[in-house]
Amino acid sequence: MHSSSFTSTLFVLNLAFAGGLAHGHPRPARPGRGWRAENFKTLVTFGDSYTDENRLGYFINNNGSAPSVGWEQPLGLNTASGGLSWARYASLYSNTTLYNYAVSGAVCSNALTPRTFSAINAPFPSIQSYELPAYLADSTYRTPNGSAFFHGAPASTAYAIWIGTNDLGNDAFLTDAQVSGKTLTDYVDCVYAAMDALVAAGARSFVLLNVAPLHLLPQYAPPERGGVNATKFFPNKPANITETHYRMREAVATVNAIFRYRTPFHVAVDGRWGPDVQVADFDVSALMADIWGNPAAYLNGSAPLDVTGVINKCDAQGGNCVEVERERRDSYMWFDELHPSEQTSRVVAREFVGVLEGRSKWARYWG
């Protein structure tokens, strides 16, 4: 490399990394020049049960068959949060049209961390194998009357990806159940590969949500923070739940650090997506950790605020469930041992709209 090129690269790297990529809570982000919430008319989401409204239910109710191209997804009133998903709230708060391709149980790629779902006798549909192809098919589909199914335009559509809960969890990386030879970096590569495909199809504005603080979930927390011995999602949990907690904490910290540095590199250094693509890194992990540490700023139900208990508590076989009364639910951070509550989802949605606005303290903007 010529010395002038080397110097230029170092200069760009310094610009990319100087503005707040340090560990800890994010400092106020520099404004995202191309981000204004009113500019976005369409929201497209990919992910797992944190985002899904009812796609997995379609697979279950149709013998494992996927929805047809141009499927009009109904409003999900009872998602994994116990109510509306964060994606639906974000759509309502931002007055955007939502196209939600998330599937409960999904991972980024079944070539990395396949997890079989007995109800459909197949692996959970993943972003790579189902969600992305489903969107691409819908994006060019015309209904029988000749009208376009997908009404979004590249300049006014935001694409959000939130995946990782199952990839990093039990029956995947946490319990060494990934495909032999695969590592956490392969999971991160998969997320960026999904963005590659979307850019090739015309996408220009992305919100990349990093991995939630899974180590704080009751399923993975240490005993002194409400961690439990086993759940219906993890019935064969190892006896040393403290070790499980720290292993999960390490995985979350590792992949989120990779996201923190790779996004600006791809946007500002190697030009992976071209000059007209903009990416907002939404540090939802830090946001949720702040909810956990400062619940009075976010939770508002009629019961004492609770960041370690759950609204819907079942035994490890999924039976004998007891639910908190509805008027008290907004006091809880978690719906069950694995999923955020509806109130937490509202907070994520509200802050997501702040990300679209271009001035969120929980985001970094590139491009």
CA 52 to centroid of chain Cα atoms: 10
Q: State the DSSP code for 133.
A: H
pLDDT mean for each 10 residues of the chain (367 residues)? 38 42 40 84 98 98 97 97 98 98 98 97 98 98 96 97 98 98 98 98 98 98 96 97 98 98 97 96 98 98 95 96 96 98 98 97 97
In a domain, 336, yes or no: yes
Number of folded domains that form the chain? 1
Q: Which structural domain range is residue 95 located in?
A: 30-358+361-365
pLDDT of residue 34: 78
Residue 100 tokens, joined: 């939600």
Q: Residue 344 and residue 94: Cα distance in Å, rounded?
A: 17
15 lies in some domain: no
Check which CATH number belongs to the domain holding 233 and give it: 3.40.50.1110
Let me know if residue 20 belongs to a domain: no
Q: Does residue 168 fall inside a structural domain?
A: yes
Length of the chain: 367
Cα 118 to Cα 60, 140, 338: the distances in Å are: 10, 32, 19
Task: Report the pLDDT value the prediction gives residue 32, as an integer from 0 to 100.
Answer: 66
Residue 344 burial class via C-beta count within 10 angstroms: exposed 0-12, middle 13-18, buried 19 and up: buried
Calculate the dihedral angle through the C-alpha atoms of 148, 149, 152, 154, rounding to the nearest 10 degrees. Answer: -70
Q: Is residue 284 part of a domain?
A: yes
Look up residue 259 and give its amino acid: F
Q: Which pLDDT belongs to residue 30?
A: 54
> CA 124, 125, 128, 131 torsion: positive or negative?
negative
φ, ψ of residue 357 in degrees (nearest 5): -70, -25
Name the DSSP class of 131: I
